[in-house]
Amino acid sequence: MIDPARSPALYVPIGMALAGVAGLIVLQALLLHKAPMIFGPFRFNPAALAAAHTFTLGFATSVMIGAFYQITPVMMLGRPVAGRLALLQGVVYLCGAWSLVWGFYSSSGPWITAGGTAALLSLILFAVLVGCSMRSATQWTVAGRFMAVGLSFLLATAIWGLVLAFNLRYGFIPNSMDYSPLGAHVLVGFGGWFMLTVFGVSYQLFPMFALSQRQDARTAHLTLGLLGAGLGSAFIALLLHLHPGVTAGSLVLAAAGIGVYARDAAAILRQRRRRELDLSMRYALTALGFLGLALPLLVLSPMRHGLAVPGAWLFLVGFVATMILGMLYKIVPFLFWHYLLKTRRSKTQRLPNLDQMFSLRAARAGYWCWTAGVVLTGLLLLGGALELWDARGLVRVSLPLNLAASLLFAGTILQVLQAKPLD
């Protein structure tokens, strides 16, 4: 995962991770501030749109951009990405993403279209930079193939998102209550960018973190083929308004891909040599559990729209964020430890162990706080969707748990970045 000769400058992955963690804190504050409105009907809801993109672009995609710059050249033995270009890309991306969020929040058409355009252009540059590194690669791993396909889905999400942004302003898509165009955007964003990429990276990292022998490239490729083909054809079917049977059939293909992945992930874990799960793996398994709860709700949401709210909560905050936090607990100390190794005064100067770089107790408290917050808010939102109670105000009780956990997490990262050689 780390090879100094192939890694970008440290400020690239760490800078994007810090920007992402700041985005996560802003999101929690926004959710608390606008709780009743955000969790209401989601269509054309300014607060919900702002929150969705604070999460997807401000937090998750920011961290993933930094991780792609770090992982791609090292894992695939390719040329490292030029730090300055990556910095330029990251700055334009963050300006674009946050302008888009502000545009949604304030219902301002010019901010939405300008922010969306800047975000899309920066994502195209991101794809070019990562693509160049991939072209020079001498080792095409399974995870690398997933990441290349995930990247294409990110571009599809952003390009179609920008069309929807211009449509919000100029209204050229005829039926404004048609859910297919929005469904296409969300499907490739959630499934193609987040889920497919996470699956691919986990094929590489889970066996490493859990010391597992199990690595079957054939079934991993089957997962990729089924998911890629299923999500891609469902996207086209929704865009072209093909018969609903075509969308349903495509989603069955994608579901088969998820099934193959679930079997592989279970086998990797069964055959692990490290019996005790470390914090990263605990986060990762919790994330997969939340994915298992989110998917049925999202699949049923076209029949009952209210289910989209707990479904999106469990998918984004439960699955995507939990997985990213777990990976960051591993990656950030590792990166900074290598930086200390490179910059220490002499070869005899001792360095702290990875575990000594942050308070494990605070990190564990953060895990429980985060998981409790996701579960409690998820249950409240589900009850709301089933009309058992009005969840919009009630979630004010559970949301502070996730805010507290995000702050604990930010504190851990800052603690890591202050680590020094021991003597």
CA angle 191, 192, 197 (to 5 degrees): 100
48 binds ligand HEM (CB under 6 A): yes
23 binds ligand HEM (CB under 6 A): no
- The distance of closest approach from Cβ of residue 156 to ligand HEM in the complex, given in angstroms and rounded to an integer, is 10
Are 168 and 106 within 8 A, CB to CB?
no
190 binds ligand HEM (CB under 6 A): yes
| Cβ-based nearer residue to ligand HEM, 35 or 210 | 35
| Cβ-based nearer residue to ligand HEM, 78 or 200 | 200
- The distance of closest approach from Cβ of residue 52 to ligand HEM in the complex, given in angstroms and rounded to an integer, is 4
| Cβ-based nearer residue to ligand HEM, 152 or 215 | 152
- Helices of type H across 136-175: 142-170
| Stretch 233-272: interaction string toward ligand HEM, x if CB under 6 A | ----------------------------------------
17 binds ligand HEM (CB under 6 A): no
Are 199 and 145 within 8 A, CB to CB?
no
Question: Residue 204: which of 260, 279, 146 has the closest Cα?
Answer: 146
Are 403 and 29 within 8 A, CB to CB?
yes
d(CA 283, CA 74): 24
What three-state secondary structure class fits 272? strand
Give the interface size with ligand HEM as a residue count (CB under 6 A).
Answer: 29
Contacts of 68 by beta carbon, 8 Å cutoff, 6+ apart:
126, 130, 147, 151
- The distance of closest approach from Cβ of residue 272 to ligand HEM in the complex, given in angstroms and rounded to an integer, is 31
42 binds ligand HEM (CB under 6 A): yes
d(CA 175, CA 210): 50
212 binds ligand HEM (CB under 6 A): no
d(CA 128, CA 293): 36
90 binds ligand HEM (CB under 6 A): no
| Cβ-based nearer residue to ligand HEM, 290 or 336 | 290
Look-up of token digits 């607990």: 329
325 binds ligand HEM (CB under 6 A): no
120 CB-contact burial (10 Å; exposed 0-12 / middle 13-18 / buried 19+): buried
Q: For ligand HEM, which stretch binds (CB under 6 A), given 156-164, 219-227, 254-262, 299-307?
A: 156-164
164 binds ligand HEM (CB under 6 A): yes
| Cβ-based nearer residue to ligand HEM, 164 or 379 | 164
Q: For ligand HEM, which stretch binds (CB under 6 A), given 41-49, 79-87, 297-305, 356-364?
A: 41-49
Q: For ligand HEM, which stretch binds (CB under 6 A), given 116-124, 199-207, 393-401, 408-416?
A: 116-124
367 binds ligand HEM (CB under 6 A): no
78 CB-contact burial (10 Å; exposed 0-12 / middle 13-18 / buried 19+): buried
47 binds ligand HEM (CB under 6 A): no
Neighbour-count burial for 206-242, b at 16+ CB within 10 Å, e otherwise: bbebbebebbeeebbebbbbbbbebbbbbbebbbeee
Contacts with ligand HEM by CB under 6 A lie at: 42-45, 48-49, 52-53, 56-57, 61, 100, 116, 119-120, 157-158, 161-162, 164-165, 168, 182, 185-186, 189-190, 193-194
